[in-house]
Amino acid sequence: ARIIAKALEEELGETINVVNRTGGSGVVGHTAIARAKPDGYTLGLGTVEINMMHWQGLTDLTYEDFTPIGQINFDAASLSVAEDADYQDLDDLMSAVREAPAGTFNASGTGLGGIWHVALGGLLMDLDMPADKVNWVPSQGAAPAMTELAAGGVDMAATSLPEARSMIDAGRVRSLGVMAEEPLESFPDVPTVASQVDSDFTTGAWRGVIGPQGMDDAIVETLESALHDAYRSETYQSFMEKQGYGVQWRDAQAFGTYMEESDAAFGDIMKAIGLAK
């Protein structure tokens, strides 16, 4: 948020103050955005949780309560195992999961109902297995989950590849596959899911700039244009490349459509896992 705000300042010639609103699995921050005046002066960094919070009964807010400006990021989900695990590729791991009784395998990567939990459930569903066949062990983010994976506390971890980078570089874990259409430029040695198993399932975490519902079209157009330039700027692109995060642009209309489609897909998965209220 701070990096894209800095790039936006350069495009708009205006000072942009970034305010952290944490808590409630994203509910607090997204509520602050939704309740702001739709005058274009209060924007937010909307996250994938928009498509997840309401399914869990955490809030009544949905993507329809916001005005999309543009998507600026996408980080595909990946599955990793400990370096000394017997599974050489994703097909080995998924075959073992399929043959074992439900609950035999444990996975972690985020809290219960987080994006990486949903990603694993969606992949299992797409492989004609129950979405909850692998037991999910909640964690306070990817870092402790990776530590637990390396220590043998869980059998696999679902995270983004940037979140797994330090453990991969240290030789303590191996990423078996990424849920993207193509291998990531930052991780060219990690093959896609589709290249290994009978599934073209893709998903991940996304971020984009949003405003409250009901913003004027002319304001949205101005902000969308400035955001696109900020997205393409050296300031933003170099930061994202250095950190290993994925960049993806969708304009306001395409971003809105994407949120709508993602909301329905996540709802189906979360119902199958038993997380939807």
Per-residue pLDDT of the chain (277 residues; tens, 9 = 90+): 999 999 999 999 999 999 999 888 889 999 999 999 999 999 999 999 999 999 999 999 999 999 999 999 999 999 999 999 999 999 999 999 999 999 999 999 999 999 999 999 999 999 999 999 999 999 999 999 999 999 999 999 999 999 999 999 999 999 999 999 999 988 999 999 999 999 999 999 999 999 999 999 999 999 999 999 999 999 999 999 998 899 999 999 999 999 999 999 999 999 999 999 8
| Confidence at residue 22, expressed as pLDDT on a 0 to 100 scale | 86
| Confidence at residue 244, expressed as pLDDT on a 0 to 100 scale | 85
| Confidence at residue 24, expressed as pLDDT on a 0 to 100 scale | 86
Distance CA 107, CA 79 (A): 9
**pTM (two decimals):** 0.92
For the chain, how big is the Rg over CA atoms in Å? 19
Distance CA 118, CA 126 (A): 12
CA atoms within 13 A on the CB side of 259: 29
The long-range contacts involving 142-146, CB below 8 angstroms and separated by at least 24 positions, are: 142/109, 142/110, 142/116, 145/108, 145/109, 145/110, 146/80, 146/172, 146/173
